[in-house]
Structure 1
Amino acid sequence: MSKITVGAYEGSIYREGAGWTVALSLGFKPDGTRNRIKRKGRTRAEAKDRIKQAVADMEKGVKRDHGYTVARAVNDLIETLAAGGLSDASIVGYRSYAANHISKIGAVKVADLTPDQVEKWLMTLRGTMASRTLGMIHGLLTRALDRAARFDKVDRNVSRLVATPKGKSKGRPSKSMTLDQAKAVLAEAAKPEHRFGPYVILAITTGLRTEELRALTWDDVDLTTGTVYVLRADREGGDTKTKKSRRGLGIAHTAVSALTAHKARQAGEKLIAGEAWKNNGLVFARPDGSGYRSQTAAYHFRKVLAAAGLNADEWTPRETRHCFVSIMSDQEVPIEVIADLCGHASSAVTNEVYRHQLKPVRRDATAHMDRIFGAA
């Protein structure tokens, strides 16, 4: 046994079992008993390092929980967000990230996690997902460790010391249906056997975002004037993507007819459900009134497309918005008008995001001369 000093505290270090133990005297507790702190290690150096860390934590007020894992930290954050009113869709997404990706380092103790471990973990993910998704997963870990630090579970957030690497190259670009394909889908969606048909019809004929459609309520719809008011979205906080996304849109007669029939069907479902009905006022809801998650909406969307003769696996619900832009552009609707209908902050956004769907407006000089002076 030998003496050891750590900061203002004295103690001893000695062999115990197969390793080493360090014991420091911190004085006396209020009840008069001795206040001691012990740390063990496989080697003498490891035991000393652990006692130094324990003293540093104590002086900083950190209540280090050596059983507190990364998985627990992330789960605690998700539970806090859920209790705070974060949308069900977002919570489902976070749980998926936690279970499928963060779980790879989930067993690591928060107190033992190092920047090197975080970096290596992120590098294993970079080849399997886009940069945006990788950033969201890394961000979830960072927020969880921020929370752990606030509750004195750890003295620093090592995730903030690591830059998010770039993910894999972008997947296939979004595409648009041809006019004939869109007509076929609309005709199929109008059939009464497709309960999800009105969603597809409104999506194609208005260009609403998928999260705007899922959050749409009957209070936002005026079937008499054929108007839809976009005031919220199925996003964190319930807000639309931008301030300009809050807008009113006239809707096509086919959409008015589909929504009218859909509202009558929903009224019947409400009677059948009785007290089990979830009174959310949602336009597009399950037979019990509860909202659709994005994955479920995508499933029903593809069923309609498959019935219309399209290869459903090649399409996603968000591409109805690309379809809307493409059809509007083909009909010579000015890009500024399309931007307003889509709720974009400016036509520059429309041009950047949907440039593949926009009909070229530039003509070469010869075409201009022919139009002005007439072809020879």
Structure 2
Amino acid sequence: MQETLATLDTPAAIVSLRRMQHNIARMQARADALGVRFRPHVKTTKCADVVAAQCAAGATGITVSTLKEAEQFFAQGITDILYAVGMAPHRLGHALDLCRRGCALQILTDSVEGAQAIVDFGREHGHAFDVLIEIDTDGHRSGIRPDDDSLLAVGRALHAGGMRLAGVLTHAGSSYELDTPQALAKLAEQERSGCVRAAERLRDAGLPCAILSVGSTPTALETTSLEGVTELRAGVYVFFDLVMRNVGVCSEEDIALSVLTTVIGHQADKGWAIVDAGWMAMSRDRGTARQRRDYGYGQVCTVEGTPIRGYLLSAANQEHGIVSCEGAADADIVARFPMGTRLRILPNHACATGAQFPEYHALAEDGTLQTWGRFHGW
């Protein structure tokens, strides 16, 4: 029997096909207009069906955060893969195996020590890895500052050691902390110019630097120029979430991922409806708590996906969620959300919420559902 939103067991991860396809088309059009190739980050979905839609729209290659993702998507026929996490020496054997099976895998480092480990392993096994150097353009996480002396030391270690110095990569992760177009555009230019500066220094030192890779969802959508850049990366845009809504790059109506849940009880005197989606379904991510608009554990919507203004998943235990009205307690909560009512909850962080589920249920406009597998782990 064909499952519907009325019969599907809950909690369940629902993907709106219409919204997802709109988001994919929007980002691909952005990359095309900026004149760069687009390499989506697939860590958000870890789903072959979603990635197939991104590639069909024009994406060239993918970005992964784990070698398990690389394995899974290589098995699906994708060969152009960037592993955008600093390469730990113990993973080099796995990376080598992928390369020898035909995967055009690019790896990443941001230190002389990391570069030397790649060189030593590559020489020992007779393989020249394609390596990008991670650049820190906003102080958010890892990478080498564009003007740091260690940039050239890393480049020289890789090049002299027989590895292929493929280029530079940066990620303006601090964009998640901003919430105006002006601030995002300024950071996007900082991201671009810092990456270009690093590439220029490498080239001036006689080192190759063909790839200049930048990106975060907010900066990708607000940048006005990617002059000098060769590729753009973004990930969460495919689903969006409430953090991105607060950043200002999407609306609630763009969010393609939601969690289907059922009302299982009430605490009428407190104005609570209890649902079967707790933090094991939504994740513990409370990213909006640090933003101007706090959505608790998620925005409550009708089963059709329309936000119910004023009602949030305000608290969560492992398997229980509390739906309540912002401000005063709702004295009519039992009548408003009777036992068995089905609701959908928009998440704070799509990557974290998606990771709670082994599969997605892709919802078409006619109400039919397809089941899409999702994988976990490292």
Q: TM-score range by the shorter chain?
A: under 0.3
In proportion to residue count, which structure has more helix? 1
TM-score scaled by length of structure 2:
0.22
Q: Which has the higher strand share?
A: 2
Bigger Rg, structure 1 or 2: 1
Larger relative contact order, structure 1 or 2 (CA cutoff 8 Å, min sep 6)? 2
